[in-house]
Amino acid sequence: MEYSVGVDIGGTKIAIAVVNQKGEMIDQTVIPTDLSIPPEAMISKINDEIRNMIEKSSISEDEIIGIGIGAPGPLDSKNGIITCPPNLKTWVDIPFQKLVQQSFSIPVKLENDASAAALAEKWIGAAKENDNFAYMTVSTGIGAGIVVDGKLLRGLKGNAGDIGHTVVDPSFGQCSCGQYGCLESIASGTAIAKRGSEIMGRHLSTKEVFDLYAEGNEKIADFIENVFRVLGVACVTLINTFDTEKIVIGGGVSKAGNPLFRSIQSYVSQYALNPSGRQTEIVPAKLEQSAGVVGAAALCFNIM
């Protein structure tokens, strides 16, 4: 049996797992993303976690074929560099791949996190049967991984699918990138908690905002329905641009579940341009919150 190590770098947490060639997680751990320490120190912690995990597994080192890292963009995946992700503010031009590679003798690969998660959903998840689909993560930020004609779209530096900074509602106000009304500034977990807290006049987590929505709180309802609408707008954009047959949604905010999926499905069935596009299925990630880390490990297995 062959194994690889997956590392999923998020704005809130870093997931690390040993995955076998069938996509099964043998061991896993999650550590918080600590932005108060230099990125190099955080990477050194990640290296320690990887080493510990390999040592305590009963797997011999020569069965481990590589380490795959999924990281938020903008990045330069071909050169293994994290460029300037908005949700990792201090991580500017970090040679991530090199800093991991120095500690291990097996190959290290770096890819956009949403692209990695798309690979996982294609490999053993909700898009196993699909050659034209998008994976959208709605988490600390928002991004997409896109598969067209059975191939993962990477682009010049590996940033294809960075849909979080697509303008969906200019009236909403300025985004951290300078544009007005980006998807991520309205519908990411971070944005939902911020705006929900402003509306209610007290500090709320994203989950607490959704709990108020489930309880029928009217002040929150308008806001959350607008969040669902802009996520629908984003999905229609993906469908119209890439002619997808399925959109898989993952990330922490997808835990909001049925109301979110029903609402996006309904928007898509009305507004996608192509009649076949209106049939696009909007489904939750089968790998749930593990799509990112399994996808990172999948980078070493030549799935696509």
Give the residues lining the site for ligand ADP (CB under 6 A): 10-13, 139-140, 189-190, 193, 205-207, 210, 251-253, 255-256
- Nearest CA to 237 out of 157, 170, 166 is that of 166
Q: Mark residues 149-178: x for contact with Zn ion by CB under 5 A, - for none.
A: ----------------x---------x-x-
Buried b (16+ CB within 10 A) or exposed e, 187-222: bbbbbbbbbbbebbeeebebebbbebbeeebeebee
Q: Are 19 and 303 contacting, i.e. CB atoms less than 8 angstroms apart?
A: no
Query: According to the binding rule CB under 5 A, does residue 193 interact with Zn ion?
Result: no
Angle at CA of residue 6, ends 107 and 71, nearest 5°? 90
255 touches which of Zn ion, ligand ADP, none (CB within 5 to 8 A by kind)? ligand ADP
Residue 265 in contact with residue 91, Cβ under 8 Å? Answer: no
Chain centroid to CA 64: 25
Give the residue with the Cβ less far from ligand ADP, 189 or 284: 189
Is the separation of the CB atoms in 31 and 42 below 8 Å?
no
CB of 257 to ligand ADP, least distance (A): 8
Residue 290 interaction partner, one of Zn ion, ligand ADP, none, beta carbon < 5-8 Å per kind: none
Residue 115 contact, options Zn ion, ligand ADP, none, Cβ 5-8 Å cut-off depending on partner type: none
Out of ligand ADP, Zn ion, none, what residue 268 binds, judged by CB under 5 to 8 A for its kind, is none
CB of 300 to ligand ADP, least distance (A): 20
List residues binding Zn ion (CB under 5 A): 165, 175, 177, 179, 182
